[in-house]
């Protein structure tokens, strides 16, 4: 082969490699754009922006079949909220009116669950069918107990004494009461009898039990047992006499930097444990109400309430997931969750920043906004203003880093722990804190 031929062959090889690289780069870019458009149409469907939905569909009609992590389509999202114009637009572009999400729910099942009567009629007129039960997301078969060795933690209802029960909290699912188990005060999460046959409630209840059974850490509320074979379903955890951080801050107002840092250290220790790879547990509802004080001296904190948590098996530390948007409490919600975008464990870091801010400032972030409006304000790029003199430059820098709009820029809880330990060394200590600090 002549040198000229050889050079030409070499050039051809380089061109082929270059072309392959360009192709791979193009494919990656294309995939990124597709994910972005998927998030956009789900977001606009949620926001009742029919014009934006139409514009996206005119540019790319295949987006009518877009799905998130839970296999929910734009039609599911719009039907749940009762957005008639958006649904009409989606159906016009060929949306599958009987698409099923990962719970086998159709858009009609969601509309029925939300009692959106006009939406129900509209979907039925287009052949919509319901695979849900009262609109609840559920598996078609009964959900089995989470683990086989139920005898280790299944509690006989007769062992629980409610004669001097005191209400701790109440919600749409049921109530949490202080009761006694074999003479010991415990917290009992009791499902309302009217919801005992709702399969979403049963599924979520068993999911929470399944998570709690596996958790063992000084800064995580300790699971003691559950009632899963009789009604009402009950989940039993240790009772913490100090109440929750929300109530504590309401009474005390802003904390001293030393106390705030000690509180933050306990929260961060619990969260570092939950975020440990490869079996990462994303809390997804970290807020003051879900942080509990062991006693009235407030010398030890624990993270609780894992009803919305997700157990994720991580193959890669940078893995992100398209999970259900708007999971958790609006005021402490990360912008990527509010926008229905891909997110990972760093959503908890964002919530932690909001809690630390509240501990130092003595009021919730954007207290003058309603929770939903606060979350929207945050998603638009706004952050709370620092006013307290107690918020040292180091703490302010940490908070700002933790609530960064780019989740990849937020530190891990392990890094947060290290930073807090360094900050603690520079602060005068509060005399009542000692037993649990290292």
pLDDT in the model for residue 181: 95
Return the CATH number at 108: 1.25.40.20
Same domain assignment for residues 277 and 381: yes
pLDDT in the model for residue 367: 94
Distances (CA, A) of 91 to 29, 66, 100, 362: 29, 13, 15, 49
Interatomic CA distance for residues 160 and 152, integer angstroms: 17
Is 313 marked within a binding site?
Answer: no
Same domain assignment for residues 99 and 163: no
List Cβ<8 Å contacts ≥24 apart for 193-196. Answer: 193/231, 193/232, 196/231, 196/232, 196/233
Q: In this structure, is residue 205 part of a structural domain?
A: yes
Q: In this structure, is residue 136 part of a structural domain?
A: no
312 in Cβ contact with 377 (< 8 Å): no
pLDDT in the model for residue 319: 39
Same domain assignment for residues 94 and 161: no
Q: Which of 110, 285, 344, 348 is catalytic?
A: 285
Structure-model confidence comparison of residues 329 and 392, the more confident one: 392
Residue 146: band (very low, low, confident or very high) from pLDDT cuts 50, 70, 90 = very low
Q: What six digits make up the tokens of 202?
A: 């049963």
- Is the model's pLDDT at 246 over the cut of 50? yes
pLDDT in the model for residue 277: 75
pLDDT in the model for residue 285: 87
Structure-model confidence comparison of residues 54 and 136, the more confident one: 54
Residue 29: band (very low, low, confident or very high) from pLDDT cuts 50, 70, 90 = low
pLDDT in the model for residue 338: 85
pLDDT in the model for residue 23: 54
State which of 199, 214, 238 marks the end of a domain. 238
pLDDT in the model for residue 237: 92
To which residue do tokens 């990124």 refer?
32
Question: What are the b/e assignments for 325-355, b being 16+ CB within 10 Å?
Answer: bebbbbbbbbbbbbbbbbbbbbbbbbbbbbb
Return the CATH number at 313: 1.10.510.10
> Which of the residue ranges 6-10, 181-185, 239-243, 247-251 would you say has the lowest mean pLDDT?
6-10
Same domain assignment for residues 215 and 259: no
State which of 192, 212, 238 marks the end of a domain. 238
Q: What six digits make up the tokens of 416?
A: 């947060």
pLDDT in the model for residue 33: 59
Same domain assignment for residues 209 and 281: no
Domain that holds residue 326: 245-425
pLDDT in tens, 292-339: 999 888 789 999 887 655 444 434 444 333 334 334 578 999 999 888
pLDDT in the model for residue 139: 35
Q: In this structure, is residue 10 part of a structural domain?
A: no
Q: In this structure, is residue 189 part of a structural domain?
A: yes
Same domain assignment for residues 224 and 250: no
Rounded to two decimals, the pTM is: 0.65
Same domain assignment for residues 257 and 402: yes
HEC string for the chain: CCHHHHHHHHHHHHHHHHHHHHHHHHHHHHHHHHHHHHHHHHHHHHCCCHHHHHHHHHHCHHHHHCCCCCCCCHHHHHHHHCCHHHHHHHHHCCCCCCCCCCCCCCHHHHHHHCCCHHHHHHHHHCCCCCCCECCECCCCCCCCCCCCCHHHCECCHHHEEEEEEEEEEECCCEEEEEEEECCEEEEEEEECHHHCCCHHHHHHHHHHHHHHHHCCCCCECCEEEEECCCCCCEEEEECCCCCEHHHHHHHHCCCCHHHHHHHHHHHHHHHHHHCCCCEEEECCCCCHHHEEECCCCCCCEEECCCCCCEEEECCCCCCCECCCCCCCCHHHCCHHHHCCCCECCHHHHHHHHHHHHHHHHCCCCCCCCCHHHHHHHHHCCCCCCCCCCCCCHHHHHHHHHHCCCCHHHCCCHHHHHHHHHHHHHCCCCCCCCCCCCC
Interatomic CA distance for residues 177 and 191, integer angstroms: 11
pLDDT in the model for residue 257: 94
87 in Cβ contact with 75 (< 8 Å): yes
pLDDT in the model for residue 68: 77
Q: In this structure, is residue 49 part of a structural domain?
A: yes
State which of 181, 210, 238 marks the end of a domain. 238
Give the gyration radius of the chain's Cα atoms.
25
Q: In this structure, is residue 252 part of a structural domain?
A: yes
Structure-model confidence comparison of residues 11 and 397, the more confident one: 397
Q: Please give the average per-residue pLDDT across 179-203, as a whole number.
A: 84
Same domain assignment for residues 353 and 249: yes
Structural domain count, the chain: 3
Q: In this structure, is residue 330 part of a structural domain?
A: yes
> Which of the residue ranges 4-8, 239-243, 303-307, 346-350 would you say has the lowest mean pLDDT?
4-8
pLDDT in tens, 327-371: 457 899 999 988 877 778 999 999 999 999 999 999 999 999 988
> Is residue 285 among the annotated active site residues?
yes
pLDDT in tens, 71-125: 789 999 899 889 999 999 999 999 999 998 876 788 988 888 777 899 999 999 9
Mean pLDDT, the chain, as a whole number?
A: 81
Same domain assignment for residues 72 and 121: yes
pLDDT in the model for residue 97: 93
Q: In this structure, is residue 131 part of a structural domain?
A: no
Same domain assignment for residues 340 and 214: no
HEC string for 28-59: HHHHHHHHHHHHHHHHHHHCCCHHHHHHHHHH
Residue 152: band (very low, low, confident or very high) from pLDDT cuts 50, 70, 90 = confident
Same domain assignment for residues 378 and 306: yes
Same domain assignment for residues 202 and 325: no
Return the CATH number at 177: 3.30.200.20
Alpha-carbon dihedral 236, 238, 240, 244, rounded to 10 degrees: -50
């Amino acid at each position: 082969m002549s040198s000229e031929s050889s050079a030409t062959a070499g050039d051809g090889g380089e061109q082929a490699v270059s072309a392959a690289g360009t192709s791979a780069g193009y494919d990656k870019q294309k995939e990124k754009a597709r994910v972005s458009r998927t998030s956009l149409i789900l977001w606009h469907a949620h926001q009742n922006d029919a014009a934006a939905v139409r514009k996206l569909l005119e540019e790319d009609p295949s987006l009518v079949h877009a799905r998130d992590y839970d296999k929910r389509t734009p039609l599911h999202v719009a039907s749940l909220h009762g957005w008639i114009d958006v649904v009409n637009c989606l159906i016009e572009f060929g949306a599958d009116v009987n698409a099923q999400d990962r719970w086998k729910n159709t858009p009609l099942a969601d509309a029925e669950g939300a009692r959106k009567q006009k939406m129900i009629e509209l979907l039925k007129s287009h052949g919509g069918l319901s695979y849900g039960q009262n609109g609840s997301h559920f598996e078609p078969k009964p959900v089995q107990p989470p683990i086989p060795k139920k005898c280790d933690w299944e509690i006989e209802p007769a062992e629980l004494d409610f004669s001097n029960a005191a209400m701790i909290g109440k919600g749409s699912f049921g109530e949490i009461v202080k009761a006694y188990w074999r003479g010991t005060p415990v917290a009992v999460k009791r499902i309302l009898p009217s919801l005992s046959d709702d399969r979403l409630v049963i599924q979520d209840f068993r999911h929470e039990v399944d998570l709690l059974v596996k958790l063992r850490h000084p800064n995580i509320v300790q699971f003691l047992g559950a009632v899963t074979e009789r009604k009402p379903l009950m989940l039993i955890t240790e009772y913490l006499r100090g109440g929750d951080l929300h109530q504590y801050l309401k009474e005390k107002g802003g904390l001293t930097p030393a106390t705030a840092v000690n509180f933050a250290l306990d929260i961060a220790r619990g969260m570092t444990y939950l975020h440990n790879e490869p079996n990462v547990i994303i809390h997804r509802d970290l807020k003051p109400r879900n942080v509990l004080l062991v006693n009235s001296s407030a010398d030890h904190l624990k993270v609780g309430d894992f009803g919305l948590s997700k157990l994720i098996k991580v193959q890669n530390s940078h893995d992100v997931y398209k999970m259900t948007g708007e999971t958790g409490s609006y005021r402490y919600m990360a912008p990527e969750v509010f926008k229905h975008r891909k997110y990972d464990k760093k959503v908890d870091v964002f919530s932690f920043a909001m809690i630390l801010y509240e501990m130092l400032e003595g009021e919730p972030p954007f207290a003058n906004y309603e929770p939903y409006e606060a979350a929207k304000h945050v998603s638009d790029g706004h952050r709370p203003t620092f006013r307290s003199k107690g918020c040292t430059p180091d703490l302010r820098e940490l908070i700002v880093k933790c609530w960064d709009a780019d989740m990849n820029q937020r530190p891990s809880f392990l890094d947060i722990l290290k930073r807090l330990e360094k900050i603690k060394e520079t602060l005068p200590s509060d005399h009542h804190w000692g037993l649990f600090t290292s």
